[in-house]
Structure 1
């Protein structure tokens, strides 16, 4: 199956098909790293290529190489340009997501396009919309998968310092800088090669972890001091942030990234959640430790979401208070009352 995928992609690249790369809404480090790296690789092969993001991209990723090449479908001019590009596309690469239905209007354009679709993704339960699919939950990051594709194409000589930086950064964000239990021997093998190609771990760590502005750090402190709650005998920690509280700290898109992981520093915590009121919905992030608490299924069943076993996201269209009550009730499926 994988060899068929490689053969298909090899032909598409060799024929220099007009290419569009698309990722999921509110792209994170892995989504941006894999998409921009694949864009740069296609350009190095002489392909016409464009990268479209369904939404605005968080400014904490603007240090990534080729960041300015991203077209935001959320902007008026970006939507117009993206629509024109998609109309001419011969192949659409779908990276770090597996359900075009979640892209809303952009997803409709992709679904209606006659272009060949290619999926490279590591999330569970993929939709069957692509002509060529590389979907495998055993990979820690889509960046890791993109490297493997380039390697199987025998094109690692095309991995520049910029591409290495993008792929390494995406792998770092999805493995917690190689601390999470998805850090496999292949992850470390790929990382070592990317270092040889010019990725600088100290620089990438600095740009990901140590670029907080004052109001973001203050918001983290406020949440941990005033909003953190423990339940289920101290096994679950969660934070509920209202729109008013978020506005108070003048947060920008992406400023809460990583907050959901902080409660794991408390001994005994096995699961964390972060709820943020955004417009008419409450956005939710779930995290867990070990191999017993499935956040993917939890998010799918109760919060219209999904993702990975230990990390997933979802949403609620209830009030913050109602969402909290729903969450606490849903926790009984994971931590039955004795």
Structure 2
């Protein structure tokens, strides 16, 4: 995998580009994809974002989220777009298996695959260009770096700022995790200068849940949480539960365990009936 900086000189030549992310995209996946989408469109590229699966409705506030193609609902259209694309950006995942039924199509893709991701153990042989950095807070932070390092910081608009801020905020636990480095805060300051309304983004993500989500979390914390103070450990176990009418299943209860004094180790046991996004729901 060649360094991603080698594509910077090629950005000014318009081409057909596809951006994709992992299945059941969260705020970082969708935010990075749409942030990059707006940037590439501003350079004159023809860009399509394809999600391997559907996504939570609370992500639909992001600018141009309505243009994202759901592969599971539009397989023929997605395959045609992929066939015509010269570049394929893969964001917030580093193994093709993370894209569910889209994976075989990505594996057969004959154009240029480009990786931007912050997770461990990337399949580097699958990508022509890329950057993989586990020290980064989020893929959204890496998209910001990509824009800045390519010499296009002036192209960061309010729409891009909102998309990127959403992912960084989510993946840093609202900036309380160690990954919220000084560079993250400098990035946010620049996004504010570009018109970011951070309270609006926070409300769109954290104040738009369904009643059933809170009832589910309450049920789990009351009936499914075990605390072992002698081991500084807390465990949540979630079997198949009926009665909450949850389309996008919720596993974020584990984050509540960080609020218990003296707990250093947290574990989540979950039925495979549920689909867990590790950061946000």
Relative to the length of structure 1, the TM-score reads: 0.77
The match for 2:7 is 8
Q: Residues 258 and 196 of structure 1: is their aligned pair in 2 closer, same or farther, counting only changes over 3 Å? A: farther
Aligned-partner Cα distance in 2 for 1:257–1:185: 29
The match for 1:136 is 133
| Counterpart secondary structure, 1:110 | helix
Relative to the length of structure 2, the TM-score reads: 0.92
Cα drift, residue 166 of structure 1: 0.4
Structure 1, residues 202-235: CA drift from partner, whole Å, max 9, x if none?
1111122222222211111111111111247352
Cα drift, residue 276 of structure 1: 3.7
Cα drift, residue 285 of structure 1: 7.0
Write the mapping of 1:115-154 to structure 2, written as runs, cut at 5 A.
115-128=111-124, 129-154=126-151
Q: 2:18 aligned to 17, 20, 23, which one? A: 20
Cα drift, residue 239 of structure 1: 2.0
Aligned-partner Cα distance in 1 for 2:23–2:272: 14
| Counterpart secondary structure, 1:233 | helix
Cα drift, residue 102 of structure 1: 3.0
Q: 1:215 aligned to 212, 222, 246, which one? A: 212
Aligned-partner Cα distance in 1 for 2:277–2:140: 21
Pairwise CA RMSD: 2.0
Gaps of 5+ in 2: none
The answer to whether the 8 A contact 1:274-1:285 is kept is: no
Aligned-partner Cα distance in 2 for 1:271–1:126: 26
The answer to whether the 8 A contact 1:260-1:285 is kept is: no
Instruction: Report the count of equivalent residues.
Output: 278
The match for 1:269 is 263
Aligned-partner Cα distance in 1 for 2:275–2:235: 13
Gaps of 5+ in 1: 287-310, 312-338
The match for 2:154 is 157
Write the mapping of 1:91-240 to structure 2, written as runs, cut at 5 A.
91-128=87-124, 129-231=126-228, 233-240=230-237
Aligned-partner Cα distance in 2 for 1:278–1:65: 33
Q: 2:243 aligned to 248, 252, 277, which one? A: 248
